[in-house]
Amino acid sequence: MRASYTDQFEHTLDEKRRLTIPAEWRDDGYEQQLFVIPSQEGCLKVYPNSWMGALQEKIAHLPIGDPGRKKVERVAGIAQKLVWDAQGRVRVKDELLSRVGVDRTVRLVGALDHFEIWEPGLRAAAAPAGATLEEMDI
C-alpha cells in the first residue's frame, strides 16, 4: 500500500530557512527523496521520487522533440530535489519559496500522492469551503 499525504500543518521556517516535514509524513512507507515543483495554483507541489520515476517512464518512449516531452523537460529544469535530514528538515530554494509568497510561515496541505506548500493567507483564500466525504464524486 502506498503512503498517503493527508491533513494540514502550519510550520515556521527555522533561522536557516529550513522546513520540517511533519513526522506523520516521514513514517515507514514514505519516501525520503522528494521533488518540489511550482504550480499554477499558487503553491509548490511536492512529489515523492517514485512519482518522478513514473513520469520519466511515461515520456521515455516519446521522441526528443515531442511537445509533451518538452513540457515535462521544462518542469524538470525548475524542479528541486529534496532529501530530509535526521530531524526531518529540508531547504527549499528561496527562489521557489518567493515564487509562491512564502516568507517565514508555511501551510503544508496533504493531497494524497503529494503535498503542497502554501503561504497561509493564500491557502486560506484558495481553500475549498468545508469539503465532506459526501461531496466526492468518484
Task: Decide: 127 and 120 in contact? Cβ < 8 Å.
Answer: no
pLDDT of residue 133: 61
In 3D, which of 96, 116, 119, 92 has the Cα closest to residue 17?
A: 92
130: left (phi over 0), alpha (psi -120 to 50) or beta: left
pLDDT of residue 32: 93
pLDDT of residue 125: 66
Please state the length of the chain.
138
d(CA 38, CA 94): 12
d(CA 100, CA 22): 20
Digit-by-digit pLDDT tens for the chain (138 residues) are: 578 999 999 999 999 999 999 999 999 889 999 999 999 999 999 999 999 889 889 899 999 999 989 998 998 899 999 999 999 999 999 999 999 999 999 999 999 999 999 999 877 666 666 666 666 666
pLDDT of residue 2: 74
| Predicted model pTM | 0.87
Place of cell 500543518: 9
In the chain, the domains with their CATH numbers are 8-127 (3.40.1550.20)
Place of cell 517565514: 104
